[in-house]
Chains A and B, each alone.
Chain A
Amino acid sequence: MSSMKIFDIAGSGMNAQSLRLNLVASNISNANSVSSSIDQVYKSRQPVFAAELRNIMEKNNAAGGVNVLGVVESQAPPVMEYAPNHPMADKAGYIYKPNVNTVEEMTNMMSASRSYQNNVEVLNTAKDLMLQTLRMGQ
């Protein structure tokens, strides 16, 4: 076999999707973390994916994996709620809730887990094919 690149590619896809799953878990578990100031409130975090440009530029090695550029915090405003009796309320009587959209995060989770499954399937098939190739001529 000339290369094991397909394992790298599927592996990078799995890596990216598992990061996405981690961020979804973080967002959902913090969805109800109340804060008393607008700066300290948890902000929804999302991953940024990009195709690996290096491999595409090397024109002969055309296939490239997924590159995770980083994690960005959502710029959507946090939810203000008037709750003067809340122990965390600020002087004006407001508490701040994270800008996490739980429904959005759930769909994100489904999409990430399906993509992860796809990559695992690719990996399994590639492994089978490679094992068969190793047995060639026997």
Chain B
Amino acid sequence: MAINFDQALGIHPQALMLREKRSELLAANLANADTPNYKARDLDFKAVLENTRNTLEAQSMERTQAGHMAPDKQLLGATMMYRNPQHASLDGNTVESQIEQAKYAENALQYQASLRFINSKFSGLMTAIRGE
């Protein structure tokens, strides 16, 4: 019986990848906190993960030529969304540092959670292999 890593690890590698992408997005929001007209963006994690799961099961299309168009505003099959600011600012910037910081911290924690899941799966596999 072969070990199937995809089955053993479940959805967690994809979750980890998405968390990383999201941390990039939130970092970009924070870095552009003083850029005029910058619009803060985020992705709906649940919808994205659901989407990723479906595309993993189904056949996904690939871009094999430089001229092929990328899907519009998509990241791993999810639409990026603009955040609704609580307070409008005069220069058109919609980044609210405190909110972005909170989201970033939340995302970092969730990343660690995903990492811990993967680690425990690995240690489970190791135990199985050693047969201790």
- Indicate whether A137 sits within 8 Å of B119 (C-beta atoms), given known contacts A59-B74, A118-B97: yes
Stretch at the interface among A8-16, A25-33, A92-100: A8-16
Bound CA–CA A127/B41 (angstroms): 22
Q: Is A60 part of the binding interface, using a Cβ–Cβ cutoff of 8 Å?
A: yes
- Residues B31 and A66 in contact, CB atoms below 8 Å apart: yes
Q: State A66–B38 Cα separation when bound (angstroms).
A: 10
Chain A, interface SS category: helix
**Which of A2, A63, A115 meets B27, CB within 8 Å?**
A63
Beta-carbon contacts of B10-35 to A below 8 Å, as 1s and 0s?
00000011001101111110111111
> Size band of the A side of the interface?
35 or more
Q: Does A40 contact B (CB under 8 A)?
A: no
Residues on A facing B (Cβ under 8 Å): 1-3, 5-6, 9-10, 12-13, 16-17, 20, 49-51, 58-60, 62-66, 111-112, 114-115, 118-119, 121-122, 125-126, 128-129, 132-133, 136-137
The 9 closest A-B pairs by CB, nearest first: A13-B31, A63-B28, A137-B122, A63-B24, A49-B35, A9-B27, A59-B70, A51-B38, A122-B27
Chain B interface residues (CB < 8 Å from chain A): 16-17, 20-21, 23-28, 30-38, 41, 70-75, 80, 97, 101, 104-105, 108, 111-112, 115, 118-119, 122-123
For this complex, 16 residue pairs linking A to B, each with C-beta atoms less than 8 Å apart, are A3-B20, A6-B23, A9-B27, A10-B31, A49-B34, A59-B72, A63-B24, A63-B28, A64-B32, A66-B35, A118-B97, A119-B30, A128-B108, A136-B122, A137-B118, A137-B123
